[in-house]
Amino acid sequence: MNPIAEQLNEILKKENPYIFEMLSNIGKNLFFPKGILAQSAEAKQKAHKINATIGIATEKGRTMHLPSMMGYINDIKPEDSLTYAPSFGIPALRKLWQESIYTKNPSISGTSISLPVVTCGITHGIATLADLWVDPSDAVILPDMMWGNYNMILNVRKGATITNYQLFDDKGGINIPSFEKKLREEASKKTKIIVLLNFPHNPSGYTASKNEAKEISNILIDIAEKGTNVIVICDDSYFGLFYEEETFKESIFSLICGKSDRLLAIKLDGATKENFAWGLRVGFITYGCKFKSDYGSSYDALERKTAGCIRGTISNASHLSQSIVLKSIQNKNYLSEKGEKFEILSKRAHLVKSTLLNPKYKDVWEAYPFNSGYFMCIKLKVNIDAEKLRVHLLDKYGVGLISFGKDNLRVAFSSVEEEDIPVLFDIILQGINDLT
Ligand SMILES: Cc1ncc(COP(=O)(O)O)c(C=O)c1O
């Protein structure tokens, strides 16, 4: 094992041996290299005459660039757009995002969290976490409805098993007994369990209520307190898009951070969905755990392992994208702009709800619970294959939806204009009538 990895492991073992145990084999071996990057960083500080370290090109003291390229970037200097960003992400953005996590999640106040490490979108965040914390022999606990790419990342690529609980009960909320049973079952077989929570949820568009969030976190804390190492990954991709009062409008991360020695809380979020900048690919990984005393060195060790993993995959996320996200957050209009977009999506969600109350739809489908995010789903009550209906709606009416399972359709109301919402559901009804 590399001596730097050993040093990081020693810090974790001393400060919280359970967190060390939770690392995968790759995670235990990961470190942030001191090679070229560290020497370049040192030179950046001290090489005032000639700095011939870093592998970019310069000219007359400035970053070499093609004017044809910079012409499109306008306000962001080549130094902040074309050069490499650190594998950890640019410091100002990490700091600002950390502050925003505290602001958006008041329950974490007074609890120490790591600085977020920047990833190339949340997908890359999940893949990075899979390398760090998941071994092929592990099982990852997920609901029976879930974003399909989890399977690609965790099962197909990593070789871990995915094991499901039933997401919804028949009363319109989360099936807490099914969740608890699955977790306790896994905890009875293993020394470590990995739970992936996703709110607002893809595909259903549901976020836990305040009570459900409390129940979920109490179960997680209890299992950890009873002696199982518990890793909880909160995929908060659609964070903030909460449209109803009783919803828990924070991440469950904030309820479990630092609550047990054996509980590792990880928050995944990003500008992709939350700030409507999908293709910029800016995501974040943030840790929340309990350490004996030295939170600074312990989080630093976790951040170094995470950045080491990034160094060994994509090296670093786009500097230009990070600068754009940073400048946008610093812009005085940022919050009001986000508020405006929230209102548009919230209005659509409420219109979907009121449209679905029409009795003409009652016998053909029921909606899964939804109160947040980009999506909602319907479950067909008629005996028609959802995929067949999807193809029919596309071919005959030019309407595109996502089918999954034998009787479910997902509607992304995030990309349907308000005036088209009633039209959309009428076309789905028409499509069903055509096929029955
Ligand atoms: C639940 C969930 N997690 C993660 C992602 C991926 O997000 P990103 O575009 O940031 O990689 C998606 C995108 O569809 C998603 O629905």
Task: CATH number of the domain at 426, please.
Answer: 3.90.1150.10
| CATH number of the domain that residue 282 is part of | 3.40.640.10
At 239 the pLDDT is 98
At position 428, the amino acid (one-letter code) is I
Check residue 55 and give its pLDDT.
81
* Cα separation, 120 vs 122, whole angstroms: 7
User: Do residues 247 and 200 make contact, with C-beta atoms less than 8 angstroms apart?
Assistant: no
Q: Whose CA is nearest to atom 3 of ligand 1?
A: 237
CA 328 to ligand 1 centroid distance, Å: 21
Least confident window among 28-42, 93-107, 190-204, 318-332: 28-42
Q: What is the pLDDT of residues 157-188, one digit of tens each?
A: 999 999 999 999 999 999 999 999 999 999 99
Share of the chain above pLDDT 70, in %: 100
For residue 76, being part of any structural domain is answered with no
Pairing of strands 139-143, 161-165: parallel
3-state secondary structure of 404: strand
Provide the 10 A C-beta neighbour count for residue 90.
19
Tokens of 219: 């179960």
Tell me, yes or no, whether 272 and 359 share the same domain.
no
387 with 314, same domain: the answer is: no
Q: Taking residues 381-388, what's their average pLDDT? A: 96
Q: Residue 216: its pLDDT value, please?
A: 98
Cβ burial, residue 228 (10 Å; 0-12/13-18/19+): buried
Q: What is the mean pLDDT of residues 232-244?
A: 98
Amino acid identity at 204:
S
Task: Judge if 314 and 347 occupy the same domain.
Answer: no
Checking if the pLDDT of 229 tops 90, the result is yes
Give the residue, out of 149, 150, 275, 414, with the most ligand 1 atoms within 8 A of its beta carbon, to mutate for a pocket test: 149
Distance (Å) from CA 182 to ligand 1 centroid: 24
Co-location of 269 and 342 in the same domain: no
User: Is residue 181 in some structural domain?
Assistant: yes
Ligand 1: residue of 128, 147, 266 to mutate (most ligand atoms within 8 A of CB) is 147
Q: Is residue 396 a part of any domain in this protein?
A: yes
- Higher-confidence residue: 31 or 46? 31
Task: Looking at the structure, tell me whether residues 178 and 271 fall in a common domain.
Answer: yes
Instruction: Give the residue-averaged pLDDT of 356-375.
Output: 96
Tell me the mean pLDDT in the region 21-32: 98
Same domain? For 324 and 382 the reply is no
Distance in Å, CA 45 to ligand 1 centroid:
38
378 and 409 both lie in a single domain: yes
Residue with tokens 């030179």: 43
DSSP-assigned beta bridge partners for residue 346: none
Q: Which residue has the tokens 């754009």?
A: 324
Are 391 and 419 in contact by the 8 Å Cβ rule? The answer is no
Range 363-386 average pLDDT? 96
Are 224 and 243 within one domain?
yes
CA distance 127 to 233: 12
Mean pLDDT of 198-207: 98
Task: State in Å: Cα 215 to ligand 1 middle.
Answer: 25
pLDDT, position 38 = 74
Q: Show Cβ contacts of residue 391 under 8 Å, excluding neighbours closer than 6 positions.
A: none
DSSP letters spanning 107-175: GGTT---PPPEEESHHHHHHHHHHHHH--TT-EEEEESS--THHIIIIIIIT--EEEEE--B-TTSSB-
**How many whole angstroms from 47 Cα to the centroid of ligand 1?**
42
Q: Which of 311, 330, 349 is the last residue of a domain?
A: 330
- As to burial, measured by CB atoms within 10 angstroms (0-12 exposed, 13-18 middle, 19+ buried), residue 387 is middle
Q: Angle 259-12-23 (CA atoms, 0-180°, nearest 5)?
A: 80
State the pLDDT confidence band at 378, using cuts at 50, 70 and 90: very high
**pLDDT tens digits, 54-89:** 788 999 889 999 999 999 998 999 999 999 999 999
Q: Which of 35, 46, 119, 39 is nearest to 85 (CA)?
A: 119
The pLDDT mean for the chain works out to 96
Q: What is the pLDDT of residues 111-154, one digit of tens each?
A: 999 999 999 999 999 999 999 999 999 999 999 999 999 999 99
Boundary of a domain, candidates 274, 307, 330: 330
With bands split at pLDDT 50, 70 and 90, how would you rate the model's confidence at 53?
confident
Same domain for 321 and 363, yes or no, is no
Helices (H), 148-270: 149-150, 176-189, 210-225, 253-256
Domain boundary among 301, 330, 359: 330
Task: Count how many domains the chain has.
Answer: 2
> Measured on CA atoms in the order 377, 281, 337, 92, is the torsion positive or negative?
positive
* Digit-coded pLDDT (tens) for 276-332: 999 999 999 999 999 999 999 999 999 999 999 999 999 999 999 999 999 999 999
The answer to whether residue 129 sits within a structural domain is yes
pTM summary value: 0.96
Judge if 127 and 193 occupy the same domain. Answer: yes
3-state helix, strand, coil in the chain (%, to 5): 50, 15, 35
Q: How confident is residue 37, by pLDDT bands cut at 50, 70 and 90? A: confident
List ligand 1's pocket residues with C-beta within 6 A: 121-123, 147, 198, 202, 235, 237, 270, 272, 278, 283
Does position 36 have pLDDT exceeding 80, yes or no?
no
Asked if residue 79 is part of any domain, the answer here is: no
Q: Are residues 111 and 192 in the same domain?
A: yes
Q: For a pLDDT cut of 90, what percent of the chain falls above it?
A: 93
Q: Is the residue at 46 inside a domain?
A: no
**pLDDT at 210 exceeding the cut of 90:** yes
Q: Which residue reads 């071919």 in tokens? A: 395
Range of the domain at 256: 3-32+87-330
234: which strand partners? 197, 267
40 within some domain: no
Q: Tell how far the Cα of 280 is from the centroid of ligand 1, in angstroms.
A: 13
Q: 436 near 371, Cβ under 8 Å?
A: no
CA distance 346 to 21: 43
Classify residue 429: in a domain, yes or no: yes
On whether both 310 and 360 belong to a single domain, the answer is no
